[in-house]
Amino acid sequence: MVTLIAIVIMLACVVLAFFILVQNPKGGGLSGTFGSASSQIMGVKQSGDVMEKGTWYTMSIIAGLAIVSVMFFSSPKERMGGKQPANTGAPAQQQQAPAN
Give the tens place of pLDDT for each residue, 41-64. Answer: 555 555 667 888 889 999 999 999
33/97 Cα distance (integer angstroms): 81
Of 100 and 62, more confident: 62
Domain assignment of residue 6, given as a range: 1-24+48-71
pLDDT for 31 equals 53
Helices 2-22 and 46-70, axial angle in degrees (round to 10): 160
Q: How far apart are CA 87 and CA 62, in angstroms?
A: 39
Q: Let me know if residue 87 belongs to a domain.
A: no
| Global confidence as pTM | 0.56
**Has residue 90 been placed in a domain?**
no
- Report residue 98's pLDDT band, with 50, 70 and 90 as the boundaries: confident
- Residue 56 belongs to a domain: yes
